[in-house]
Chain A
Amino acid sequence: MNIESNKAAFSKEPREENLVTMLWDIQRRNGWISKADVRSLAAILNVSPLDIDETLSFYHFFRSKPSGRHQIYLCDSVIARMNGYDQVRAALERETNCCFGGLSADGLFGLEDTPCIGLSDQEPAMMIGDVVFTGLTPEAVSNIVAQLRAGKLPADIANPNGYDSGTLDYVDAMVVSRIRNQGPVFFKPMRDHHAVLQGVLARHPIEIIDEIAASKLRGRGGAGFPTGLKWRLAHEAEGGQKFIICNADEGEPGTFKDRCLLTRSPRDVLIGMVVAGFAVGARSGILYLRAEYWYLKDYLERHIGECREAGLLGDDILGSGFAFDIRIQMGAGAYICGDETALIESCEGKRGTPRVKPPYPIQSGYLGMPTVVNNVETFAIVSRIVEEGGRWYASMGTEKSSGTRLLSVSGDCARPGIYEIEWGMRLDEVLGMVGASRPMAVQVSGPSGECVSAAKDGGRVFCYSDLSCNGSLMIFDESRDLLGIIRHFMSFFVQESCGICTPCRSGCVDMLTKVDRVIGGKATKQDLEDCNAWGHLMRSTSRCGLGTTAAKPILTTMKSFPELYRDRLAVVDGPILASFDLEKALKGHEDAFRNLVKDNY
């Protein structure tokens, strides 16, 4: 790849905020991004090559060394590990003749691990380019690899009927959307989006904001900020342009509800974005789609295109004079981009580092303009609120947590999948509903959330003041090694910390070291005191939500499962220091003694 061909490919107003897209274009053409590519991009964008490398090296899926012809990313999540990950991993290494982290000698295969890819109800799963394979077994792996060796493309294997990549059939051929119940809000068939939008455009933006405020809807990304208030502030903010961003970077391990919404109800989400644009006075929307969901891209593009044709998007929406359009921005593998300011940085072609706040995105977001960032689920709900009214929505759920929300349920239960629940439901009710017969622990909101005890916490309630679930619900029964799971979560945070601030960059590693001491039976009470104090330090001083929550796998299990730690504490009956390993210290003594004896006789 040389400057000329890259220049030709990126001739249209090359701007820095397209950098992530440009890097993807090169990688999808060549399999990787070479030093020469970096230099040519630097020349095109008029920045230094280091500046390009900063972005390139930040994202997990960008490769700065040659790839295998088929670059395989196997999902390594705790749920995958409960469902045969180890056997599938071994089968992949055997069949491809390749080790994880490397390439096969023939250059045909490359193997890598990757954190949760949003398929926790059908693990083990892997990605080969844009294509995903779910419910893997060692046999399935041999079969897939044999077909790849025979020259078949991954898409042809996963989609044997050859459906067009813009169709629902194509998505369905790869991934199952297990929607387990029909609630009042989501996945309504045959909705008339045209009429919904017409109703919205006939009203004043302030009325729409009032409607959303009346619904008491709180953002579904996890933090639970009141959506109506966010929109009102953005409406009042001054700026030449305003932007609406849909956060579809569904990276929290264990969650997959946004994937199902984008698959089954993409129009609800798109229309919700238009409504937000109308309410705050924005003309542009960005749907930030995680790279793991690339198989949804053409499908979503098709829906956006159809909305344009139907006049639901574009320069003059339904003849109202209101203009709004949506583009898709692909992520490139970084959990941190779920943070709204990191996501904005990523949209601007930069490293996904969370910004210093204030200013907040509603004041200065994308390109320094007032920006509303909401979750996929929030937009889907908005499209229903403007249809049925804010009071209708507020009548469901509890006083402070209105409406319903989607749960992505995975792990040890009979019926994993997507459930719509009203806020206010008890944990034991949910466990019963999903068929969890012997639950021990429930990880609410993924690693960044809380690990609760099914025995002790069954009466706790899903609502913002108690179990404020972000959509991820992983169930572990009594057979599971909870400390191993905690370790997996902590190493996830070590990998995903962006490293911009001291407490998170340093603290995640220190906390992982502590878990290892507990698992190794070397921890003393002081180690547990340290966990508590250091976790508090991370929570109090980190820059963004990743750092403030990263110690929670340890902190919350110390609370709900204290015996887990107590049973492993080092018993100080020998040496005074728990770290002193007598066996290790005496290793070699016997040999030395024997040699001495031999020498003397």
Chain B
Amino acid sequence: MTAKLYIDGREICASEGDVLIDVAADYGIHIPSLCYMRGRPCLGTCRVCSVVVNGSIMPACTARIADGMVVEVAQPEVADMRRALVEANFSEGNHNCPSCEKSGRCELQAVAYEVEMVVSRFPYRFAERERDQTARHIFLERDRCIFCQRCVEFIRDIDTGHKIFAIHGRGTHARIDIDVVLADRMPPEQVREAADICPVGCIIEKGRGYNDPIGKRKFETRSIRDRVLEGDKK
């Protein structure tokens, strides 16, 4: 069923039940996110796509289109909340863009530019997180993990469907883990996929890095906003 809704005052028609963040993108309204991937199940972990729906704040990746819905994306208070959530991810981990090989193709970095973040308002934690380099083709740089769960949900062993990545522990003690036996069975294209869907530089493909010169890197040639709006699968 077709529904009529309003995003920032603009009247929009969409199918009832569709995902708000997708519909917004189809109409040229970019709502940033760090965990959502179009066409895949919503993870709802980063909360960076928070918008106002009928007066309450909710993530646009979980909101489903309903007739008469009134959505506010640009409203300053909720826009600042999105920025705060991006900043919180920077404070929690150790994100040193200039030395990170994901720089220029990192979604966290690109989204931070997009929401016009300058510095985190939250105290930087300088958390100590151990790296895991035991897998043959994958380097796990935990300093940068933002617990989006993309790898946990979307990268599975091809033969068995078993989890290759998983979260150990909970809360502030949580840690991303890798099953080395399964990881070593990943074909090269799956290793690349894992590194690509990681929105930060946590899953790094060994033996590859700094391939593109500065100025020619992924989000430099085309911004994350343009990529999302043009339906690029990232």
Contact = CB atoms under 8 A, between A and B. Distances in A.
Interface residues of B, number: 45
Interface of B: 42-48, 50, 57, 59, 62, 64, 81, 84-85, 88-89, 91-92, 121-123, 125, 146-147, 149, 157, 160, 162-174, 177-179, 182
Contacts of A540: 50, 57, 81
Given A356-B42, A499-B170, A502-B48, A541 B85 contact: yes
A132 B149 CA distance: 38
B169 A57 contact: yes
A48 interface: yes
B93 to A, nearest CB: 10
A577 B169 CA distance: 38
Nearest to A500: B45
A505 interface: yes
Given A506-B88, A537-B84, A501 B172 contact: no
A216 to B, nearest CB: 25
B55 to A, nearest CB: 12
A384 interface: no
A537 B92 contact: no
Contacts of A49: 179
B196 to A, nearest CB: 21
Given A356-B44, A540-B50, A541-B47, A50 B172 contact: no
A101 interface: no
Interface string A485-518: 0000000001111111111011111100100000
A58 to B, nearest CB: 5
A503 B168 contact: no
Interface range for A? 35 or more
9 contacts: A49-B179, A50-B165, A351-B167, A498-B171, A506-B92, A510-B122, A530-B121, A540-B50, A542-B47
A58 B157 CA distance: 23
A542 B171 CA distance: 13
A51 B84 CA distance: 32
Nearest to A336: B170
A513 B72 CA distance: 32
A501 B168 contact: no
The residue among A506, A510, A540 with the most chain B CB atoms within 10 A of its own CB is A506
Nearest to B87: A506
A510 B178 CA distance: 28
Closest 4 CB pairs of A and B: A48-B162, A356-B44, A50-B166, A506-B88
B121 to A, nearest CB: 8
B116 to A, nearest CB: 17
Nearest to A358: B64
A230 interface: no
B170 A48 contact: no
Nearest to B86: A502
A46 interface: yes
B19 to A, nearest CB: 11
Nearest to B123: A513
A540 B57 CA distance: 6
A583 B66 CA distance: 61
A543 interface: yes
A357 interface: yes
Given A49-B179, A358-B62, A502 B45 contact: yes
B122 A57 contact: no
Contacts of B163: 47-48, 50-51, 54
A48 B179 contact: yes
Nearest to B167: A54
A503 B166 contact: no
Contacts of A543: 44-45, 47
Contacts of A387: none
Contacts of A54: 163, 166-168
B170 A502 contact: no
B85 A494 contact: no
Nearest to A49: B179
Contacts of A506: 88-89, 91-92, 122
B170 A497 contact: yes
Contact of A541 (B42, B81, B167, B168): B81
A53 interface: yes
A496 B171 contact: yes
Interface string A29-55: 000000000000000001111110110
A497 B157 contact: no
Nearest to A497: B171
A540 B160 CA distance: 39
Contact of A494 (B162, B172, B178, B179): B172
A590 B121 CA distance: 36
Contacts of A534: 84, 122
Contact of A53 (B43, B47, B91, B166): B166
Given A48-B162, A358-B64, A510-B123, A499 B171 contact: yes
Given A497-B172, A508-B172, A543-B47, 15 more contacts: A47-B163, A48-B157, A48-B182, A50-B178, A54-B166, A57-B168, A334-B170, A351-B167, A501-B44, A502-B48, A506-B88, A506-B89, A509-B172, A513-B123, A541-B59
A336 to B, nearest CB: 8
Contact of A500 (B81, B122, B147, B166): B147
A505 B167 contact: no
Contacts of B147: 499-500, 502, 505
Nearest to A493: B171
Given A48-B157, A48-B162, A541 B57 contact: yes
B230 to A, nearest CB: 26
B177 A53 contact: yes
Contacts of B64: 358
Contacts of A57: 168-170
B169 A58 contact: yes
Contacts of B48: 502
Nearest to B49: A541
B192 to A, nearest CB: 21
Contact of B88 (A495, A502, A530): A502
Given A48-B179, A356-B62, A494-B171, A502 B166 contact: no
Contacts of B157: 48
A58 B91 CA distance: 24
Interface string A402-446: 000000000000000000000000000000000000000000000
